[in-house]
Amino acid sequence: MALIVAVPTLAQDLKTLVDNQLPGLVEIYKDIHAHPELSHEESRTAALLAAELRKAGYAVTEHVGKYPDGTQAYGVVAVLENGPGPRLLIRADMDALPVVEETGLSYASHLRTKNPAGQDVGVMHACGHDVHVTAMIGTARALAALKNQWHGTVMLIGQPSEETIDGAKAMLADRLYERYGTPTLAIALHDTNVHPAGAVSITSGPVAASATSVDVTLRGLGSHGSRPDLGKDPIVMAAEFIVQLQTIVSRQQNPLDPAVVTVGDIHAGSKRNIIPDEAKMELTIRTFSEKARETALDGIRRAAKGVAVSAGVSDDRAPIVTVLEDESVPVTYNDPALAGRVKSSLVRALGMQQVFDDPPAMASEDFGLFGLGGDKIPTVLFRLGAMDPSKFAAAQAEGKELPGPHSSRFEPLPEPTLRTGVSAMTSVAISLLQN
């Protein structure tokens, strides 16, 4: 009589591991969700992540990262060595946003804090970085338990300050690679509202746009509100300037090379009957090419100069246009060869019908910086569907989209989002950690 012994496959092992972890992971997720922290302030989240990764057997360092002003960042680095082989960086960002949560969930955040300008704001994990941190904890445990399935080194990065796009820079500036080794590959995931929980998606080539932060100050001349003729009204100039900006994308850019110019913040004046001295605006530019970025910057500079000239502002009060390099990032690029390998392992882990190809997004990311630019370290960021499948289907039937990242109503469904996140990331990591 032949004896047939069932040999457990990696997929079965992983499924059992994830099943066992899931209730605990959902608890961790709800805890992180209820305790969001703004960029530069991720002390609790970083400590929680570091403690979990230490428990999972990783060599963990906290407080990795230095900002340009010299302050220390809350970056976490966790290394697990497992013989010779590739060195794989996996990144999870940890910060939340100044948004008042309106999901009504039992574990919703009710926290308030001060933003860097000292204003009282709500805080919410409106970009779902709590999903990323929790999925990293699950992945770390699974990779430690499945050490016989891979070899090489895993380098987990708990990254602060993605939303201010200075966290990856801060970690690299703190000699991340000199201290912990330069990775051969880098991967990350980001949750999304454009797919239901259970699904993932991947893009080959550019995946997220470059972001350029620009401050514009239009300087006029203050006067009494009843005597505009004695001043130069910067509020009227700002209004003209913003309308003029709308022609950059519509009239100045190559229509086949996408760009966005947004004025997200405007401040001027203190009282209805005073014409103020100046109007300040914060802009963001999103593009996929350097040409489109330069066109947008030129357009902004010319529009600012033009309204000032038109208003008769003297040269010594010319507009000030400042590009904030510390708050700008290049295009995030998914290396096509690595994207192909990642996609194959996602298909093996989740099935063909759960893996989608997505176009690039105009949102921006600082994850690409871990690739050191060019093609030195191939990087791939894939997206993790996070929406309740029934709500997703209902919205689709109506031709609508469920609230997405940065919305006060963005609501990832913990299970099966976390199950899929851990399974997907672990499977991808193991497939990359061969030879």
CB 432 within 8 A of CB 125: no
**Nearer to Zn ion (CB atom), residue 38 or residue 127:** 127
CB of 29 to Zn ion, least distance (A): 15
Is 381 a binder of Zn ion (CB under 5 A)?
no
Q: If you search the block for the tokens 């080539």, which residue do you land on? A: 205
CB 340 within 8 A of CB 204: yes
Of 266, 367, 277, which is closest to residue 313 (Cα–Cα)? 277
Residues shown for the chain:
435
Residues 290, 296: Cα–Cα separation, whole Å = 10
Is 188 a binder of Zn ion (CB under 5 A)?
no
CB 239 within 8 A of CB 272: no
Amino acid at position 222, single letter: G
**Nearer to Zn ion (CB atom), residue 18 or residue 127:** 127
Residues 11, 288: Cα–Cα separation, whole Å = 38
Is 78 a binder of Zn ion (CB under 5 A)?
no
Is 92 a binder of Zn ion (CB under 5 A)?
no
**Nearer to Zn ion (CB atom), residue 18 or residue 136:** 136
**Nearer to Zn ion (CB atom), residue 188 or residue 338:** 188
Q: Binders of Zn ion among 124-153, rule CB under 5 A?
A: 127
**Nearer to Zn ion (CB atom), residue 50 or residue 127:** 127
CB of 418 to Zn ion, least distance (A): 16
CB of 71 to Zn ion, least distance (A): 22
Report helix, strand or coil for 185: strand
| Beta strand pairing call for 223-224 and 274-275 | antiparallel
Letter string b/e over residues 183-212, b meaning 16 or more CB atoms within 10 A of that residue's CB: bbbbbbbbbbbbbbbbbbbbbbebbbbbbb
Is 209 a binder of Zn ion (CB under 5 A)?
no
Q: N- to C-terminal Cα distance for the chain?
A: 39
Residues 13, 45: Cα–Cα separation, whole Å = 29
Q: Which helix (H) or strand (E) holds 372?
A: none
Q: Binders of Zn ion among 220-239, rule CB under 5 A?
A: none
CB of 95 to Zn ion, least distance (A): 8
CB of 127 to Zn ion, least distance (A): 3
**Nearer to Zn ion (CB atom), residue 52 or residue 95:** 95
CB of 363 to Zn ion, least distance (A): 7
Q: If you search the block for the tokens 């992540």, which residue do you land on? A: 49
**Nearer to Zn ion (CB atom), residue 87 or residue 125:** 125
Is 248 a binder of Zn ion (CB under 5 A)?
no
Measured from each CB, the residue nearest to Zn ion is 127
CB of 366 to Zn ion, least distance (A): 10
How many residues bind Zn ion (CB under 5 A)? The answer is 1
Site string for Zn ion, 276-295 (x = CB under 5 A): --------------------
**Nearer to Zn ion (CB atom), residue 141 or residue 286:** 286
**Nearer to Zn ion (CB atom), residue 64 or residue 127:** 127
Report helix, strand or coil for 261: strand
Letter string b/e over residues 269-289, b meaning 16 or more CB atoms within 10 A of that residue's CB: beeeeebbbbbbbbbbbbbbb
Is 361 a binder of Zn ion (CB under 5 A)?
no
CB of 174 to Zn ion, least distance (A): 22
| Beta strand pairing call for 278-287 and 259-268 | antiparallel
Site string for Zn ion, 100-129 (x = CB under 5 A): ---------------------------x--
Residues that bind Zn ion (CB under 5 A): 127
